[in-house]
């Protein structure tokens, strides 16, 4: 029953993401083992949209760790646990809370022992910068802890690169790139644990820098990013953009594409005025840009279908089912046409 519940939400979220994003490019899925313990290591540029993006495009049932602050309310905690989410505590949650991580780690060990999958974000926090930040060693504690507890266990690590074309704007494009499998056992040496940790972190970091757009975080970062934005490059062409950065061969200024579908956008707003106003009010309370997509997507997934359903029932009551269904289908098609056809320029 839990698996059915999981897949129902997966289908719902994947369908909603299809309406929310212009294009989701997925590559490297052939690298994902069909069975056995797997740890997905994902960079973290865009809040809670990141795990949704990866999970809805995984062929396997997945578990993942998210920051403990999300689990503060009991009902939310109970609901998220039914979808295989687990809290991870950080120093910012209070030093007294860190002890709770041991129970979470034990759960992760058991997940691997059962031959299941786990997703974590080794950078430790979200950040919009187009760079792979230093990785936390927390994931090595989970992996090596499981190998120490279960001697016959094999764990495959799959780095996953996420790159957004214009995060926090609607609609966005995103590239999800699954990397080359890494057998964690090849790096585990309990007698030289610190060296094992460094080597595994480096191996994952090297792949993540190839799987997502990576601008070295040095004094040239802002200059390179500005040039890429002015050239209006498609960041979801990850290999192409990384080659530009590496070879310092960034094109000259390219004007942004005109959005000739803007009248269609205003028509959708008029047809969805209450969900739109709810979002406008809620957006004023968001203090981190990385959570704009998370809240907009979450609210849209609930309010738009509900609003359209209510209007459909009202039309049915006065004009009959034929008119009501035509209205509902037309409303959904308008959103889909705008989402898939409007230009996605680079953010400034």
* Domain residue spans of the chain: 2-211, 218-255, 262-341
DSSP letter at 58 equals: -
- Tokens 């993942």 belong to residue: 64
What is the per-residue pLDDT for 77? 75
Bridge partners for 27 per DSSP:
177
Give the separation between CA 54 and CA 32, rounded to whole angstroms: 12
- Tokens 């997502």 belong to residue: 212
2-211 belongs to which homologous superfamily? Glycerol-3-phosphate (1)-acyltransferase (3.40.1130.10)
What is the per-residue pLDDT for 348? 47
Segments of the chain scoring below 50 in pLDDT: 348
What is the per-residue pLDDT for 104? 86
CB atoms closer than 10 angstroms to residue 190 = 9
Q: What is the per-residue DSSP string for 108-173?
A: HHHHHHTT-EEEE-TTSS---SSS-PPPPTHHHHHHHHHHHH-TT--EEEEEEEEEESSTTSSSEE
Instruction: State pLDDT tens for residues 234-257.
Output: 999 999 999 999 999 998 888 888
Helix residue ranges, H only, 182-291: 193-211, 221-230, 238-247, 262-271, 273-283
What is the per-residue pLDDT for 103? 84
């Amino acid at each position: 029953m839990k698996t059915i519940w999981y897949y129902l939400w997966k289908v719902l979220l994947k369908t909603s993401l299809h309406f929310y994003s212009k294009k989701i490019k997925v590559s490297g899925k052939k690298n994902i083992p069909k069975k056995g313990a797997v740890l997905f290591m994902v960079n973290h540029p865009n809040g809670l949209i990141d795990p949704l993006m990866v999970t809805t495009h995984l062929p396997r049932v997945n578990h993942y760790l998210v920051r403990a602050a999300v689990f503060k309310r009991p009902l939310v905690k109970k609901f998220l646990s039914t979808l295989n989410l687990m809290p991870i505590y950080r120093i910012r949650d209070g030093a007294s809370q860190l002890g709770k991580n041991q129970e979470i780690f034990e759960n992760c060990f058991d997940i691997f022992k059962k031959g299941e999958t786990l997703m974590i974000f080794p950078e430790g926090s979200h950040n919009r910068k187009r760079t792979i930040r230093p990785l936390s060693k927390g994931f090595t504690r989970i992996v090596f802890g499981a190998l120490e507890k279960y001697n016959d266990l094999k764990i495959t690590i799959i780095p996953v690169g996420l790159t957004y074309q214009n995060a926090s704007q609607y609609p966005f494009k995103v590239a999800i790139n699954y990397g080359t499998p890494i057998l964690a056992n090849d790096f585990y040496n309990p007698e030289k644990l610190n060296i094992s940790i460094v080597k595994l972190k480096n191996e994952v970091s090297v792949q993540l820098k190839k799987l997502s757009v990576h601008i070295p975080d040095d004094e040239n970062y802002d200059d390179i990013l500005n040039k890429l934005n002015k050239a209006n490059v498609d960041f979801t062409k990850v290999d192409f953009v990384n080659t530009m950065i590496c070879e310092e061969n960034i094109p000259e200024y390219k004007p942004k594409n005109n959005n000739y579908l803007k009248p269609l956008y205003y028509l959708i707003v008029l047809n969805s005025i209450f969900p739109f106003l709810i979002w406008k009010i809620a957006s004023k309370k968001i203090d981190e840009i990385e959570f704009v997509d998370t809240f907009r997507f979450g609210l849209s997934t609930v309010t738009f279908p509900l609003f359209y359903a209510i209007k459909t029932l009202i039309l049915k009551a006065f004009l009959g089912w034929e008119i009501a269904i035509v209205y509902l289908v037309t409303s959904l098609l308008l959103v889909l046409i705008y989402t898939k056809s409007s230009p996605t320029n680079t953010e400034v």
